[in-house]
Structure 1
């Protein structure tokens, strides 16, 4: 089974493109066990993982089952559809109006997940802690016994966290004292106990092992809520399924065996469509239908079939465009109003793409090459605006919020710049145990770079026809 897993203070140094980056050593996620959850507003003193996972090069391992050989970094960077030279991968320096604001560091472990809303930032690590930051200052945190925090999403007043042990925790902020309190788990304990009494509720998860269908039997790798009107939460897991939850009563409505390997990414999108990406190298489209009080998801199309694991998905908020980041370092996109067709490949990263975030006309891609690339889409063509450099280990997660009075004031306090230039505040979490805060402009590349978009800054290939050997279109409706 392929594993897509691969978080520092200091300022970023603009450069033309990532280079001279040592190949990190792969590691497997630690499994934690525990009993009661602890909720606190104290400054946690939980110890970080001793020594770090990246103390040596892959050559210190041997054997086909070594961590490196089983990691996504041990994959050829060659694309099956095209070849490119180093010259074609040249990227612009950090654009005017884009800068590193600050680095947030606590020695609590590698950062695997984060979510932002307003001036609040939630970060998850392998320390089991969910750390809370407000206006870029440590504001305490809360702790779960469920192990490594692989996913965090915010839906309304609830915070959902997905964990290594297959559990999904639900949290709310107390209006009385501002502390975070665990208000439930998915599935609910009573549903789990009731379901365990009926043998028909068990499904085979692997040879000679069965589990309740309403509970993930392996790590929860990704979460995605629908809008408030639909009130659903999707969870994807290494058990190869995704599950659908009704947020109002925490009920599991459906479980779908979606892929032949880990489900690494899931996005609940427009028109009842759901996109899933997997370590089996595929991206699939699902259509949701409401059946009574439940749901029924049917496969519509497989958009991508490749050898490289799919690690991340993102959907544009301003256009029907789907992005996919893979372990070969490429970002594929599909677009269209009535049919989803392959729109091209964004190239520039030298190692696996682990995370994506799409806002406005921009796409952010975070990679094992320790950089974040900022892309802008204009008239169907993508250009690279900036390469954000500063992390010293692979980037595992991204979150973007529109700047407001609070975070602009925080940025001004850090940099002394009161101009407010730059529309977006970007948070990046890395295996270097830090979160970096960036201010990013969304001005077109020709405005920023003082000329028309050239070959060097574009790094975008548009394909005609079907490069995947499978139909790459599907109706939205």
Structure 2
């Protein structure tokens, strides 16, 4: 059965109403309440950016001067997501701040729970947040409520829990003398990914769980790794990649309703892999390690055989996060407080395009704009210094000393 279409909502600048992109799955009445998104935000953003550029010396952009520094979190910024014309940033202090573009003002704040926020994703009119207390919370973006982001459920749901807790076979051993239902995570949920109507959650308990978005039911729990899962990403062809402290990235593919292991990508020995990204065409996978390296692999058609194609010493300290932009740029954030911009070549190799410095703490999360803005792209970075920074990265060049690809491995 085909999975439902999901769109990303936009909240009106002047009210709490939602202006959503149209979807084939919506009814005509719903479409009337949620008109199609115009170019208003894109035009405003570009105009605002052009004004900033006109007031700023060109040399500032060669060193990637930040357009804005957003402060307001009580804890370190742990994750970011784009939600239409809004930026969502979450922190170890349990709070989630909604920032409005293009003026980058604080629009609202929400959040609750017994643990800090570790990851968040947006699907349609819902926001999913993963927490240190081993739960996933679901928030509804509602224009009919003064509380725009309203908590509507927690995973696993009460219905799912009650349907399984009476049967002994539904319990698994988590540690000595401790058991939990297999639908529950036993430790912090560190990462989330979305693909084909499913939410995937990775945890420090080494497991990967699969949740169906339509009814929020947990369908599978996979003993995925030998150590904590630190990162998840899903490709357009439905393959999910999990990065772990065990030094491996594993590829998972759904077949006949269950997920099976398709391939294992081996990193450096005794080095944790903290993040993973996949190219738009699904051909190349890159992992960021605790030794400061970014490593790239290419898989065969069946994804059961992987070849190491590049490795580059990206940072002096651990790579904590990565993101891909416009199909040709890879951004890496590090514990050394810097962000590196890499140009990806057609063969998968990387060469340094530029370096961003400005954060006063390790860079924990990165998010790039979904489209081109003024001949470049917007980059958002969150740090342990409790701030969110906004950067504009031009496509035409970085610091003027681009290094040709030396990362490609040839044999």
Q: Give the TM-score of the pair, scaled to structure 2.
A: 0.79
How far apart are the structure 2 equivalents of 1:464 and 1:428? 33
Distance 1:347 1:192, change over 3 A: same
Which residue does the alignment assign to 2:116?
Answer: 148
Distance 1:95 1:386, change over 3 A: farther
Alignment pair present for 1:212 and 2:187: no
Which residue does the alignment assign to 1:201?
Answer: 170
How far apart are the structure 1 equivalents of 2:356 and 2:263? 36
- Cα drift, residue 130 of structure 1: 1.0
The answer on whether the counterparts of 2:237 and 2:282 sit within 8 Å (CA) in structure 1 is no
Distance 1:176 1:282, change over 3 A: same
How far apart are the structure 2 equivalents of 1:459 and 1:298? 32
Alignment pair present for 1:463 and 2:394: no
Q: Which string of whole-angstrom CA distances, capped at 9 and with x for unpartnered residues, describes residues 268-308 of structure 1?
A: 224332211111111122222133xxx23234334335201
- Cα drift, residue 312 of structure 1: 0.3
How far apart are the structure 2 equivalents of 1:199 and 1:94? 63
How far apart are the structure 2 equivalents of 1:348 and 1:241? 29
Equivalent positions of 1:42-441 (< 5 A) are 96=62, 98-135=64-101, 136-177=104-145, 179-226=148-195, 230-291=196-257, 295-304=258-267, 306-318=269-281, 320-336=283-299, 338=301, 340-360=306-326, 361-380=328-347, 381-402=349-370, 421-441=374-394
Tell me the SS of whatever aligns to 2:256: strand
The answer on whether the counterparts of 2:76 and 2:385 sit within 8 Å (CA) in structure 1 is yes
Distance 1:335 1:443, change over 3 A: farther
* Higher relative contact order structure (alpha carbons within 8 Å, sequence separation ≥ 6): 1
Distance 1:442 1:117, change over 3 A: farther
The answer on whether the counterparts of 2:351 and 2:406 sit within 8 Å (CA) in structure 1 is yes
The answer on whether the counterparts of 1:347 and 1:459 sit within 8 Å (CA) in structure 2 is no
How far apart are the structure 2 equivalents of 1:281 and 1:120? 35
Which residue does the alignment assign to 2:22?
Answer: none
How far apart are the structure 2 equivalents of 1:276 and 1:261? 11
How far apart are the structure 1 equivalents of 2:324 and 2:60? 19
How far apart are the structure 2 equivalents of 1:201 and 1:162? 23
| Structure 1: gaps spanning 5 or more residues | 1-40, 42-92, 405-419, 466-477
Tell me the SS of whatever aligns to 2:69: strand
Aligned residue pairs, count: 346
How far apart are the structure 1 equivalents of 2:156 and 2:203? 14
Q: Which string of whole-angstrom CA distances, capped at 9 and with x for unpartnered residues, describes residues 222-261 of structure 1?
A: 00001xxx20110000110000010010011100001111
Tell me the SS of whatever aligns to 1:191: helix
Distance 1:459 1:433, change over 3 A: farther
Distance 1:337 1:119, change over 3 A: farther
The answer on whether the counterparts of 1:165 and 1:219 sit within 8 Å (CA) in structure 2 is yes
- Report the more deviating stretch, 339-348 or 421-430: 339-348
How far apart are the structure 2 equivalents of 1:331 and 1:169? 32
How far apart are the structure 2 equivalents of 1:334 and 1:442? 25
Q: Which string of whole-angstrom CA distances, capped at 9 and with x for unpartnered residues, describes residues 404-435 of structure 1?
A: 7xxxxxxxxxxxxxxx6342111100000000
The answer on whether the counterparts of 2:73 and 2:93 sit within 8 Å (CA) in structure 1 is no
Tell me the SS of whatever aligns to 2:237: helix
- Cα drift, residue 145 of structure 1: 1.6
Q: Which string of whole-angstrom CA distances, capped at 9 and with x for unpartnered residues, describes residues 106-136 of structure 1?
A: 1411111111133211111111111111111
The answer on whether the counterparts of 2:248 and 2:264 sit within 8 Å (CA) in structure 1 is no
RMSD: 2.2
Distance 1:129 1:394, change over 3 A: same
How far apart are the structure 2 equivalents of 1:145 and 1:252? 20
Greater strand proportion: 2
Q: Which string of whole-angstrom CA distances, capped at 9 and with x for unpartnered residues, describes residues 339-368 of structure 1?
A: 642111122310000000012211110000
Q: Give the TM-score of the pair, scaled to structure 1.
A: 0.68
How far apart are the structure 2 equivalents of 1:117 and 1:239? 29
